[in-house]
């Protein structure tokens, strides 16, 4: 990966200062919470309303990144508070699923890596063991979600899971027991074959027969429809396959990440404001800033893994362009709101549009910190 130009370095330093100037007072006025979104500019609190919600690790991850950046103990205390609150989730089995990675990597696993404390190791291993229990050997996939609303999801796998696999890779590194990694690799191989299309775009949901393992269909999921290209799903694919390369050293995952990235760059609108789906109708202006931030962080991961290889720079250039576009057009830097990113979206067809979402802020901060060489490796 090329080194940053002086102008880029100055921009990165200025953004880190803006992040710190905002997030110190915002955190001070939101102590002891687990935010997901904002209501009238103020963070909500999922620890009160929904402790099992899949995004509940991101505020902890943001706090650890900011602690690493500033050394301010308040951020560490808040991160530990999130981790301890999540213990309630460990006792609610229907609220545990493949997203154990999103919840316990940015809380217990990163704290254990930093502080080597026994409680965090226990939590991380409980989360990893439960996730490993979701592996279906008939189809070599990790079941994503549980059944709610009377939908049978025994055979569901989703592209997002690629971001959860590091929990299993970590469990093998920590215990030397290969089983966790074997399952992660088997899932990654299945995902390569069944999610990634010829043109590099990816499905959101793939359904397998849970008894025979045969793939039965793909679903549009949170995107526009069957065969469409949900932007956040594409970003999970770029980032997630790059991570499988980092944890295994296997180049085929790097090539897969690159293939998805090339598709995404070919579909990027001129404005570099990312839609909810790269194949949504042309007259629809719905956006998802979370997809922009995750894509940027994933592209930096990809560029870093490619190192000096030809073509790596274009991924770094694209990441910086996405982050600069967010900075200029889609971030509230003032203290009138708790969130950073605006114009985030849950999905295409629901009503969660034009809102703030915590993981958008997390991945924006992570990406800028990566550019500065100051990010913690949480995923």
Any idea which residues carry the catalytic annotation?
99, 160
Q: Which two tokens stand for residue 293?
A: 């931030």
Regarding 97 and contact with ligand GLY (CB under 6 A), the answer is no
Residues from 165 through 224 that contact ligand GLY (CB under 6 A): 222
CB of 121 to ligand GLY, least distance (A): 26
Please identify which residue in 44, 160, 287, 361 interacts with ligand GLY, judged by CB under 6 A.
160
Count residues binding ligand GLY (CB under 6 A).
Answer: 4
Q: Mask of contacts with ligand GLY, 242-281, x by CB under 6 A?
A: ----------------------------------------
Nearer to ligand GLY, 160 or 301 (CB): 160
At closest approach, how far in Å is the CB of 330 from ligand GLY? 18
What does the DSSP 8-state code read for residue 160? Answer: G
Q: How far is CA 367 from CA 165, 319, 323, 361, in A?
A: 20, 8, 8, 10
Tell me whether residue 210 or residue 221 sits nearer to ligand GLY (CB atom): 221
Please enumerate in sequence order all residues whose Cβ is within 8 A of that of 222, keeping only pairs 6 or more positions apart, or say none: 204, 230, 232, 233, 346, 347, 348
Query: Whose Cβ is closer to ligand GLY: residue 222's or residue 289's?
Result: 222
205 vs 245 by CB, closer to ligand GLY = 205
The continuous run of DSSP H or E covering 29 comes out as: none
25-28: long-range contacts at Cβ-Cβ below 8 A with a sequence spacing of 24 or more? 25/335, 26/335, 26/338, 27/63, 27/66, 27/74, 27/75, 27/78, 28/74
Q: Does residue 31 sit in helix, strand or coil?
A: coil
CB of 371 to ligand GLY, least distance (A): 23
* String of contacts with ligand GLY for each residue 112-131, x by CB under 6 A: --------------------
* Per-residue mark of binding to ligand GLY, 55-74 (x: CB under 6 A): --------------------
Q: E strands along the chain, which residues?
A: 38-39, 42-43, 135-136, 141-142, 156-158, 205-208, 215-219
Residue whose CB is less far from ligand GLY, 300 or 344: 344
- With respect to ligand GLY, which residue has the nearer C-beta, 78 or 361? 361
In the numeric block, the tokens 């997809």 are attached to: 291
Of 98, 111, 232, 259, the one binding ligand GLY by CB under 6 A: 232
Query: Binding to ligand GLY (CB under 6 A): which residues in 38-57?
Result: 54
User: Could you tell me if 44 and 35 are in contact, meaning their C-beta atoms sit under 8 angstroms apart?
Assistant: yes
Residue closer to ligand GLY by CB (options 113, 187) is 187
- Interaxial angle between packed helices 358-371 and 289-306, expressed in degrees from 0 to 180 and rounded to the nearest 10: 30
Instruction: Please give the structure tokens belonging to residue 19.
Output: 């992040």
Minimum separation from the CB atom of position 156 to ligand GLY (A): 12
Q: Is 38 helix (H, G, I), strand (E, B) or coil?
A: strand
In whole angstroms, how close is the CB of 4 to ligand GLY at the nearest point? Answer: 29
**Dist CA 162 CA 237 (whole Å):** 7
CA distance 222 to 351: 12
CB of 335 to ligand GLY, least distance (A): 28
**Residue 305 contacts residue 247 (beta carbons within 8 Å):** no
Q: Which residue is nearest to ligand GLY (CB)?
A: 160
CB of 54 to ligand GLY, least distance (A): 6
At residue 225, φ and ψ (nearest 5 deg) are: 175, -175
Q: What are the tokens at 302?
A: 């990809």
Cα separation, 222 vs 280, in Å, equals 12
Q: Kindly list the residues in this chain that would bind ligand GLY in the complex (CB under 6 A).
A: 54, 160, 222, 232
């Amino acid at each position: 990966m090329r080194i940053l130009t002086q102008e880029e370095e100055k921009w990165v330093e200025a953004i880190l200062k803006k992040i710190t100037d905002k997030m110190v007072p915002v955190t001070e006025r939101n102590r002891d919470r687990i935010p997901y979104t904002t209501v009238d500019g103020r963070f909500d609190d999922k620890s009160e309303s929904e402790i099992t919600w899949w995004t509940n690790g991101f505020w902890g991850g943001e706090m650890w990144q900011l602690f690493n950046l500033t050394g301010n103990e308040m951020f560490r205390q808040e991160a530990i508070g999130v981790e301890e609150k999540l213990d309630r989730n460990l006792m609610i089995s229907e609220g545990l699923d493949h997203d154990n990675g999103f919840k316990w990597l940015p809380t217990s696993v990163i704290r254990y890596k930093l502080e080597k404390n026994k409680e965090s190791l226990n939590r991380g291993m409980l989360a990893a063991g439960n996730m490993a229990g979701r592996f279906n050997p008939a189809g070599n996939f990790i079941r994503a979600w549980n059944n709610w609303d009377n939908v049978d999801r025994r055979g569901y796998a989703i592209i997002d899971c690629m971001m959860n696999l590091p929990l299993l890779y970590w469990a093998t590194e920590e215990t030397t027991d290969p089983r966790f990694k074997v399952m992660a690799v088997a899932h990654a191989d299945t995902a390569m074959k069944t999610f990634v299309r010829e043109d590099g775009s990816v499905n959101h949901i793939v359904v397998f027969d849970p008894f025979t393992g045969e793939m039965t269909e793909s679903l549009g999921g949170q995107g526009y429809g069957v065969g469409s290209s949900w932007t956040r799903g594409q970003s999970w694919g770029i980032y997630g396959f790059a991570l499988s390369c980092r944890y295994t050293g296997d180049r085929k995952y790097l090539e897969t990440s690159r293939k998805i990235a090339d598709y995404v760059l070919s579909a990027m609108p001129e404005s570099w404001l990312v839609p909810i789906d790269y194949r949504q109708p042309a007259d629809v202006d719905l956006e998802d800033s979370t997809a922009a931030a995750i894509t940027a962080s994933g592209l930096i991961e990809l560029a870093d893994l490619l190192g000096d290889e030809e073509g790596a720079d274009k991924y770094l250039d694209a990441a910086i362009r996405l982050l600069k576009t967010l900075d200029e057009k889609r971030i509230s830097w003032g203290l009138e709101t708790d969130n950073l990113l605006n114009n985030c979206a849950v999905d295409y067809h629901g009503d969660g549009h034009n809102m703030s979402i915590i993981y958008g802020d997390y991945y924006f901060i992570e990406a800028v910190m990566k550019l500065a060489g100051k990010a913690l490796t949480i995923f």
